[in-house]
Amino acid sequence: MSKVTVHDKTFGVFIKREEILRRVAEVAARINEDYKVLNPLFLCILNGSFIFAADLFRCITIDAEISFIKLASYKGTSSSGNVVTAIGMEEDLHGRHVVIVEDIIDTGKTLHSFLPEIEHRHPASVKIATFLTKPSALKHDIKADYTCFEIENKFVVGYGLDYDKLGRNLPDLYILDEG
Ligand code: 5GP
Ligand code: MG
């Protein structure tokens, strides 16, 4: 399928599943190398990262653990704006090597608001693995340690990412058709 319709919008195929899997395996190989004896904890941010997390984790060959959390944002009392907190975090992060698994870093706002919550739990280290980044949309000082693809500032869907709740099941990544 080179075109799909999700709700009212048309998307064209952007990155094929085979290329995605090749790249995910490359990133996993780097993580295998970097975390050899550290038993990292992959902390995956739902919902968007679930497909990426599954493919990435299957390529991890060292001892590693995985857990899934949802983020909820609420208005903080300080001037720092929204606070993002984790729902379903049962893991003790103290002394752990944490790899946050995200679907996409767009403005960086989500991770910028959430990282303090992680640091607060005194992990030994925190790194970020993301399927996508949009460098030209970035507004916060967030840098991914492992990125599969850097893309232009356009809306994408598929491979776990949704457009108004639909499209997550598309195996390839699609980009919004303009014009
Ligand atoms: P942030 O701006 O905080 O870095 O990203 C916020 C969230 O916006 C992401 O986790 C993702 O859910 C959503 N998002 C940003 N860009 C896209 C995109 O191109 N497609 C989809 N489906 N979601 C996006
Ligand atoms: Mg997300």
> Phi, psi (5° rounding) for residue 45?
-95, 115
Query: CA 79, 80, 81: angle at the middle one, nearest 5?
Result: 90
Handedness of CA 168, 170, 172, 175 (dihedral sign): negative
Mutate which of 84, 134, 157, 161 for ligand 1? The one with the most ligand atoms within 8 Å of its CB, which is 161
Burial track 50-72 (b if 16+ CB lie within 10 A, e otherwise): bbbbebbbeebeeebebebbebe
In the structure, what pLDDT confidence band is assigned to residue 77 with cuts at 50, 70 and 90? low
Atom of ligand 1 nearest to the CA of 163: 22
In this prediction, what percent of the chain has a pLDDT beyond 70? 96
Task: Report d(CA 27, CA 49) in Å as an integer.
Answer: 15
- Structural domains in the chain, CATH included, are 20-151 (3.40.50.2020)
**Residue 103 CA, closest ligand 1 atom number:** 10
pLDDT at position 80 over 70: no
pLDDT digits (tens, 9 = 90+) for 11-27: 999 999 999 999 999 99
> Does this model's pTM top 0.85?
yes
112-124 per-position pLDDT tens digit: 999 999 999 999 9
Mean pLDDT of the chain: 94
Q: Closest Cα partner for 127 from 119, 138, 135, 139?
A: 119
> Is there a catalytic annotation at residue 106?
yes
Surrounding ion ligand 2 within 5 Å at CB are 48, 103
Instruction: Record the tokens describing residue 128, joined without a space.
Output: 């970020």
What DSSP assignment string belongs to 107-143? Answer: SSHHHHHHHHHHHTT--SEEEEEEEEE-GGG--SS--
Binned at pLDDT 50, 70 and 90, residue 83 comes out as confident
Residue of 19, 57, 69 lying closest to 173 (CA atoms): 19
Q: Tell me what pLDDT residue 179 has.
A: 67
pLDDT in tens, 129-159: 999 999 999 999 999 999 999 999 999 999 9
List all residues 6 or more positions away from 66 whose beta carbon is below 8 Å from its beta carbon: 41, 42, 44, 53, 57
How confident is the model at residue 76, as a pLDDT? Answer: 60
Give ligand 1 pocket residues (Cβ under 6 A).
48, 103-110, 155-157, 161-163
